[in-house]
Amino acid sequence: MPEVGVVAIQGDFEKHILALERCEIPDLDVREVRVPEDLADVERVIIPGGESTTVGMLMERFGLGQALQEKATEGLPIWGTCMGMILMASKVEDRDQYSLNLLDITVRRNAFGAQVHSFEDEVQVDGLDEAVTGVFIRAPIVTECRGDAKPIATYDGRVVAVRQGNLLGTSFHPELTDDTRLHHWFLGF
C-alpha cells in the first residue's frame, strides 16, 4: 500500500497517524515528514492542525514548503486539516503569513469567535452518505473559493471543506473522532 506522509513539525500529527492506523489498511506505511527528503516515496500527504504561523515559518526554513509545492504540481494528493488548510490557502484574511499557495481560496482564521474556541457538531460532506462529527478548534472558514476550488461542506452557512482536484482542505479535525471515513476517502484520491 502507498506511503502516507504526515507533516510532523508541530500540531496534532500523532492523532492523524493513529487515525490512519484505525483505517486498518494492511501494509499502509505512514511516515512523519519534516524535511524534503522525507517526501521521497510518499504518495499522499496530510498537513495536521496546529499553529499556522509557526509551522509555515519552519516549512519555509526546512525547504519543505517548496518541495510540497513541486509535488502538488506533479499531482500529489494533499489534505490539510484546520492549520493545514490555512497553510494551503492562497490568501489569509488580514494576515501576511507564509502560504503554500495550493488551494485557490481565502480563509479567515479563528472564524467562530474568541469565546467559541472549540465545539463539535454534525457536518454533511458531499460524497458521504451520512454526516460526520466536525470537531472545530479555533477553526478557520473559507470565505472565497476561486477557480477549481469547490466547497464540499458548509456549517451554519459557512464553507468548512473544499476540494480542488487532488487537494483537500477541512476546517475541522476528523482525526479527533473514531470515524475514519474521510481518511479512507482521501486514501482513495
Binding ligand GLN (rule: CB under 6 A), the pick from 5, 50, 77, 169 is 50
Q: Where are the alpha helices (DSSP H) in the chain?
A: 13-22, 52-62, 64-73, 83-88, 181-187
Q: What is the DSSP letter of 138?
A: S
Binding ligand GLN (rule: CB under 6 A), the pick from 20, 86, 141, 187 is 86
CB of 140 to ligand GLN, least distance (A): 6
Q: By the 8 A CB rule, do 6 and 16 touch?
A: yes
Is residue 110 at the binding interface for ligand GLN, with CB under 6 A as the rule? yes
Is residue 138 at the binding interface for ligand GLN, with CB under 6 A as the rule? yes
Q: By the 8 A CB rule, do 59 and 26 touch?
A: no
Written as one letter, the residue type at 136 is: F
Residue found under cell 476540494: 163
Is residue 106 at the binding interface for ligand GLN, with CB under 6 A as the rule? no
Give the active site residues.
82, 173, 175
Binding site for ligand GLN (CB under 6 A): 49-52, 82-83, 86, 109-110, 137-138
